[in-house]
Structures are given as structure tokens and as C-alpha cells.
Structure 1
Amino acid sequence: MEEGFKELISKYQGSQSLPRQFYTSETVYKMDIQHYWNHSWIWVGHINQIPNVGDFFVFDYGYESVIIARDKNDSVNAFLNVCRHRGSRVCIEKSGNTRLFVCPYHAWTYELNGSLRAAREMEENFNTAEYSLKKVNLRIFHGLIFICVADNPPNIDEGLLQLEPLVEPFEFENLKIVHSANYPVAANWKLALENYMECYHCAPAHLEYSRSHSLKDPSSANIELKNCMLKKSMDVGLSGEELHINLLESNNVEMDFYFSRYPLFQGYKTGSKSGEKLAPLLGRLKDFDGGTSDIQIGILNNFLSYSDHVIGYRFIPRSLQITDIEVIWMVREDAEEGKDYNLEDLTWLWHCTSQDDERIIALNQKGVNSNHYVPGPLSNMEWGIKAFHAGYLKQLEEKTNINS
């Protein structure tokens, strides 16, 4: 186990924020990427981004870069963006369409499925079949593309099977990405993720959000409003069930999954400034039920599904204290901008909310950087952070023990 990590873990007190080094240590950051991110499933995009043979996009996090491409057999593949010759990045464009991937350093040439096609001036017995780009595990769930670079990834399939009937009415596979925005924040990725995992801060920090959204916490929700919404949810074609799978409590699932539909305040059909609809209804929904769904597929992959659009949230580590908050807006693939939705109206709420988050998370990091920072107690509304800490520490302990 990495030197000093056992001692650092021993400093952690349950139901408190993490010790300072978890947010300030370069050694811990490297462990995060190696043992947590590299062994987690990560949502990288939507199938609608690569509809044609030769279409590709690249997803980067930490030290890693992954190419997702549609090959000549119309299959979607993922592989590390690392040349098998001397390690150069192969694909330097973020997205596009190509016949082949050619390394810009020495021109090793790869097929769309990652296999090596040609390498100049090699020995006669050189076998190209031994030098394909390293394949990355890939799952497509209702059009959402997930990857994991680990040789033995956690079991995602059992959780997806349980989530299936809850998301099926939205028909995520028939969505398209209409906008994405990046909000760089000067903070460790865990502080950015923890901020999303609780709504204790929502009322004081998010004025626009608080106009339409409840506090997303069972103990503070208006039970009468929720019961009314759930009845309408079932009337419009949505399930009233909830899903909460915690990897610490289940023997069959190696990831956290969460699904809960909660009511917006009265007068709001969706997450809009006016309360009125923003885009055509998703999937097979018959009407607006006045709610939105929190969906989590593993701690790192968060979605908010209104009746007419879906928000995807990612918190991508770039360095020890630089994180990209990436927000992705999706609507029905047949919706037309200017006719069926207005992009400024569609993005208003979560643009405002993410700008707030940039500010408060950066302030959080500045305080944690102080030598006088001491972990404080978490509130009952910060139960999501407690669940994240438990799974995160468990995974790091297991992986560092294996590699010690």
C-alpha cells in the first residue's frame, strides 16, 4: 500500500468531510486516477455523436485519453489514445470523421477498430496483430456510452438491468446533444462532485434553481406535492418506483445506482425560467407530470431527466486542483432549434447554477488549502457525500492493497 495511506485513512472520521490531504496531495490525486477513475465506468457521450462509419470523438480525464469510434462493421469501439510504438497520442482532434487513425509522430496507422494496419521500416518478423491500440471496455445503455479502462471493470450490467424499466419511457436512445458547456473550477474533483451530491447548499447558493426545485431531500420534501406528482407520473407513462443500490450493501452490484423522481414547485412543468415547457416531450410521455428524475449510474455519472430534456453532469479531473464541470443538454433527436426549442431558454437554469458552483467550489478549495482546515460534521442532507466517501475509500483501500 502507498506509504502513509493507511495513516491518512485512519484520520477519517465517518460523517465528516475528508482530511485535507485528500484535496491537496499530489500523491492522493495520482491514486485517485489510478485506483478510482481507472476502475470506474465513465459516461463519455451519446451514440448520436457517431451515427456514421468513421465518426469518432475523444474523451480525456486525468492522464488518460480514449477514442470512441464507429468502425466499418458499424460497431462502436473504444481504445486508448496511446500509440503502441512509443506512446504518442494518436488522435489529436476532439471529434470528426476519418478512414484511419495515423499517429502524427512516426505514422503508425490504425484501422477504425484499433487494429494496426501499417508500421514503416520494422523488422521482417514484425507482427502487426500484436500491436493494436489497447481496447477499452464499453457499454451502451439506451444510447448513453460508458467506458472503463480497467482490465477487470466493476459489474455494471446488473444495475443497468434494474434501472432499465425506470428510464425506458424517456427513450434516451432517441436523444441528441444540442449543447455542452465547460465550467473550469480551481478545485479538486472530489470537492466538485461532493457539491453535486448534496442540496444543503441549494437554497443559500442557487437563487434561480430554488425558484423551481425542491431541496431534493426526503425529509424536507412536501409529501402531499410528491404524492400528487407520483400519481400524475404514472398517468403520463412513468414509473413511481425508486432505485437505490449501494455497493456497500449489495453482494450482486459493484457500483452505486440511484433513481428518484421528485416534484418541482407548483406552476413548473420543467426546469425553465417561466415554468413552461422548453422542448417536445421525451419518449412516450403523454404530458408533463411536474417532476424531474435524479439518475446516477455509478457515483461519477449524473443525469437529471425532466419531461422535455435531459441534463448530464460530469466532473472531470484535469490536475490536482483543476476540475472541469461539464454540463450537457439533450433533447429529442427530431426537435429543431428555433422551432421546437430555444437554446438560450433551454440552457438558462443549469448555466446559472453551474456558474454559482464555480464560485462556491473554488471558495471551498481555498478554505481547505488552509493549514488550519479541520474536517467538519456533515448534515443529514449531505447523505450523498457520506455514501461517496464510503465507496471511494473502500475502493482505494482494495486497489492499493492489491498493488502493494
Structure 2
Amino acid sequence: MDSLSPARLDDPLAPAREATAEMLKERQHNYSLPQPFYNDERLFALDMQEIFEKEWLFAGMTSEIPAKGNFMTLEVGDNPVVIVRGNDGEVHAFHNVCRHRGSRLCVTDKGKVAKLVCPYHQWTYELDGRLLFAGTEMGQEFNLADHGLKPVQVRTGGGFIFVSLADEAPEIDGFLETLDHYLAPYDMENLKVAVESSIVEQCNWKLVLENNRECYHCNGAHPELLNSLQEFDDTDDPRATPAYKELVARKQADWEAQCVPYKLTRLDRRNRLTRTPLLDGAESMTMDGKRACQKLMGQLQSADLGSLRILHLPNSWNHFMGDHALVFRVLPLGPQRTVVTTKWLVHKDAVEGVDYDPEQMRKVWDATNDQDRRLAEENQRGINSKSYQPGPYSETYEYGVIDFINWYSERMLENLGHSQPDLQLANG
């Protein structure tokens, strides 16, 4: 082994690991995190190692790679990953790194191939990762079987694809089964991406998630979204009004009759699913509340299904309505840079220009994403000040943020080899 290989070097982040664990153990609960968690290079490196390289990450949808040879790529920090539909119809994931000299194999966001071929020297891999060709120049003693692609753990459920770079990933079976149940009416294999956008936010990834986990800011920031969205997403919300609770009861009776799942389900702090009504009379998250796609998803018979909200930490939130769905993916790029990808999904047979207008479909969330970007970036600028100190969260308006920060703290401590007493879930 090379004397300078990572396995034989002292861990340059060792001091940061101990300092991070101490800050998390000593932090004031229900307050924002100390400044380094939002802007320090070393702590960002720990976030990547201990969260994004160890947890299950939302990568994309199975409907995006419908046939053998279809692939998609993503970058998890410095780790390029390729996800491909194999000859067996199964979804496979690999480190997108050739075993020859380390070049990336697939260099586009998505595509279709017969084999995975390195563009550098044409080493060729089967869709299951086996090396098929390396050229006679490698010599007679060269063993193809020793140089297959390195696999990445991948699981699917409810049409979602999750990957984990960990050798031993956390348990996810319960969540996948729950996704299968909630999304069965949508016929997830028969959806397509109608519109996709990615924006880079000049802020730490945790600020993106914190902003998403509360609607405290919605009245002052999101006029387009509030044309259709309720500020609270279930009757456990301590702010929920009697009128909202009455609407929920009425809509839940309709959903029960249609056999559409709706009950609030939590799987620890990491995953949360609930169906909640939109404003009374609104069918979809559009400027006028009317459906964005005339062809409903799956076998659904009604567009008036509210929004099925799905949270998966650390990097995704989602809205499923009767006519279309929105899926969001968050990936860190640096201590103060994060890419947020939004995909609008419709029935695969929906015809652009006939069943839906992409520009009309995306207006609300294009505006909302840009508004959230500005809010998070201003949040980052303030946090960078020498005057910043952790501030208190509202237990009624920001309970979702409290749960996210508690989840993050618990996972960091556990992955760093430390422990702390379990914290109770916040209300809602």
C-alpha cells in the first residue's frame, strides 16, 4: 500500500470531530446551531462524511430510467454516482468511476447506453458492473473479474430511488413499504418528468432544510404558493384552526371512500408522510388553484386529493396531488453552496400543450423556490456575522425545524461515535 494512502494517514479532521461532538452535546436545545455548523469548511467536510456518505439519499425516480440501459447520475460531494436499469430490469447503482485510471464513466445527467463505456480508454462494463473489456494491452495475466465497478447501495420504494454510500446503511425497509402503500394509487412506474429545474443557493444545506421545515415565513414571502397551500399540514399542528379541522374531516371522508391513504405517519424524525387539503376549492398548486394537468396520475378518479406531503431527511421533500407531483432533491456543493433540484411529474401519457402547459405548471414553485433562495441566502449572510449567536425556535411555528435539527444532531453524534439521550419529537 502507498505510504500516503488515506488508510495510513492520520485523520486531519480528528480535532474537528471532537469539537463538533462537544458543540452538539452542549448546544441549547430548541435553538439554532452554533455558527461553524453553517459556514466552517471542516464541519462541512464532516457533514459530507457523516451524513451524506452514510445516510440514505433521495436520488431520483424509477420512472426516469424505465428501460434497460437508461441511467442517471448525481454527485454526492466528491463522489460521482451512476444509477442504471440493468438487463434484469433491476435498478443498480455504482460509483461512477472507471477502475482503470479513475475517469468518470457517464458524464451527462441522464441517457441510455447498451454498455457502460469509459470515454477515456474505452474500458467497457456490463450494466450490472462487470468489466467486459479492457483491451489486450493489459496483458495475459490481467483478470477482468477483479476490476468490476464498485457498487453503491440502492433501494427503491413507491417509485423513489435512494442510494447510500455507506458500507452498512441505516434501516430503510419500513419507509419503503410505507411509500409503496401511500403511492400505490399513483402508478409510479407510469409517470414522467414534465419539467425540471436546478438552482444553486449560496447557503449551507441545513439552512435550505430549516427554511423548508416551517411555514412561519410563508405569509410574508410566498403569495403565489398561498393561492392554494394551507399553512399547516395536519390537525396536530398547534396552530390549526377549527375551520381547517372541519375541512380535514370532510376531505378525509372523501379520501377514505376513494381508498386513498392519508393518515399522518412518522418513521422517527427522518421520514414523515401526511395528506392534507389545499385551500377549499383548490385542486392543485397552481396560480389559480385549478389542475395543472388534465390527465390525472395513475388510476386516480379525482383531482381533489389535497397534497400528500413526504419528507425524507436529509435531502428531500415532496408534494403529490391528483394531477401532478413535485419532488425536491437537495445536494450540498460547499459550506455555503447548495443545489436544489425540482421535478414536476405527470402521467406518462399526458401530452404537453394538450393536457398541460409546462410554463403554467411551474409558475408557483419557480416563484417559491426563488423566494426561498433569497431568504436562505440572507439567513446565511447574517449567520456569517461576528455578532451571530444561536437564536430560539418557536415550538409552535417551528416545530419541524426543531425536529430536523434534533435529527441532524443525533445522527452526527451517533456517526461520530458519540451518543446523547433521545429527544422527544416536537408537536405536529
TM-score, with structure 1 as normaliser: 0.92
Partners of 1:208 and 1:6 lie apart in 2 by: 41
Change (3 A) 1:284 1:105: closer
In structure 2, stretches of 5+ residues that fail to align are 1-13, 419-428
- 2:415 aligned partner: 399
2:250 pairs, out of 228, 245, 253, with 228
Matched, 1:196 2:212: yes
Contact between 1:237 and 1:286, CA under 8 Å: does it hold in 2?
no
Superposition map of 1:134-173 within 5 A: 134-173=150-189
- 1:81 aligned partner: 96
Partners of 2:380 and 2:272 lie apart in 1 by: 27
In structure 1, stretches of 5+ residues that fail to align are 248-255
Partners of 1:29 and 1:365 lie apart in 2 by: 14
Cα distance, 1:239 vs structure 2? 2.6
Partners of 2:157 and 2:305 lie apart in 1 by: 26
Contact between 2:66 and 2:189, CA under 8 Å: does it hold in 1?
no
Give the secondary-structure state (helix, strand or coil) at the position aligned to 1:389.
helix
Matched, 1:334 2:353: no
Give the secondary-structure state (helix, strand or coil) at the position aligned to 2:63.
helix
Partners of 1:88 and 1:165 lie apart in 2 by: 40
- 1:269 aligned partner: 283
Cα distance, 1:91 vs structure 2? 1.9
Give the secondary-structure state (helix, strand or coil) at the position aligned to 1:39.
coil
Partners of 2:158 and 2:299 lie apart in 1 by: 14
Give the letter for the 1:119 counterpart. Answer: A
Contact between 1:50 and 1:70, CA under 8 Å: does it hold in 2?
yes
Give the secondary-structure state (helix, strand or coil) at the position aligned to 2:398.
helix
- 1:219 aligned partner: 238
Partners of 2:142 and 2:200 lie apart in 1 by: 45
Change (3 A) 1:291 1:384: same
Give the letter for the 2:201 counterpart. Answer: V
Cα distance, 1:11 vs structure 2? 4.1
Partners of 2:219 and 2:350 lie apart in 1 by: 33
Partners of 1:275 and 1:343 lie apart in 2 by: 15
Give the letter for the 1:219 counterpart. Answer: P
Cα distance, 1:324 vs structure 2? 0.9
Matched, 1:4 2:23: no
Contact between 1:303 and 1:312, CA under 8 Å: does it hold in 2?
yes
- 2:392 aligned partner: 377
Give the secondary-structure state (helix, strand or coil) at the position aligned to 1:4.
helix
Change (3 A) 1:237 1:283: farther
Give the secondary-structure state (helix, strand or coil) at the position aligned to 2:284.
coil
Superposition map of 1:54-203 within 5 A: 54-120=69-135, 121-203=137-219
Partners of 1:86 and 1:320 lie apart in 2 by: 29
Give the letter for the 2:370 counterpart. Answer: Q
Give the letter for the 1:262 counterpart. Answer: T
Partners of 1:117 and 1:239 lie apart in 2 by: 46
Contact between 1:144 and 1:173, CA under 8 Å: does it hold in 2?
no
Change (3 A) 1:83 1:363: same
- 2:11 aligned partner: none
2:259 pairs, out of 218, 237, 252, with 237
Identity %: 35
Partners of 1:274 and 1:211 lie apart in 2 by: 7
1:356-383 alpha-carbon deviations (Å, 9 max, x no partner): 0111111011011111111111112211
Matched, 1:314 2:310: no
- 1:252 aligned partner: none
Matched, 1:355 2:370: yes
Partners of 2:390 and 2:322 lie apart in 1 by: 39
Cα distance, 1:286 vs structure 2? 2.1
Partners of 1:301 and 1:154 lie apart in 2 by: 17
Partners of 2:357 and 2:23 lie apart in 1 by: 49
Cα distance, 1:290 vs structure 2? 5.3
User: Which aligned runs of 4 or more in structure 1 are off by greater than 6 angstroms?
Assistant: none
Give the secondary-structure state (helix, strand or coil) at the position aligned to 1:381.
coil
Change (3 A) 1:397 1:286: same
Cα distance, 1:318 vs structure 2? 1.2
Provide the aligned C-alpha RMSD in A.
1.8
Partners of 1:277 and 1:237 lie apart in 2 by: 21
Cα distance, 1:285 vs structure 2? 2.3
- 1:250 aligned partner: none
Give the letter for the 2:245 counterpart. Answer: I
Give the secondary-structure state (helix, strand or coil) at the position aligned to 2:47.
helix
1:13 pairs, out of 28, 32, 35, with 28
Change (3 A) 1:74 1:164: closer
Change (3 A) 1:286 1:100: closer
Matched, 1:304 2:319: yes
Count of equivalent residues:
394
- 2:7 aligned partner: none
Deviates more, 1:85-94 or 1:142-151: 85-94
Matched, 1:205 2:227: no
Partners of 1:230 and 1:8 lie apart in 2 by: 44
Cα distance, 1:164 vs structure 2? 3.1
Give the secondary-structure state (helix, strand or coil) at the position aligned to 2:416.
helix
Contact between 2:158 and 2:176, CA under 8 Å: does it hold in 1?
no
Partners of 1:246 and 1:16 lie apart in 2 by: 20
Contact between 1:237 and 1:285, CA under 8 Å: does it hold in 2?
no
Partners of 1:98 and 1:290 lie apart in 2 by: 38
Partners of 2:21 and 2:55 lie apart in 1 by: 22
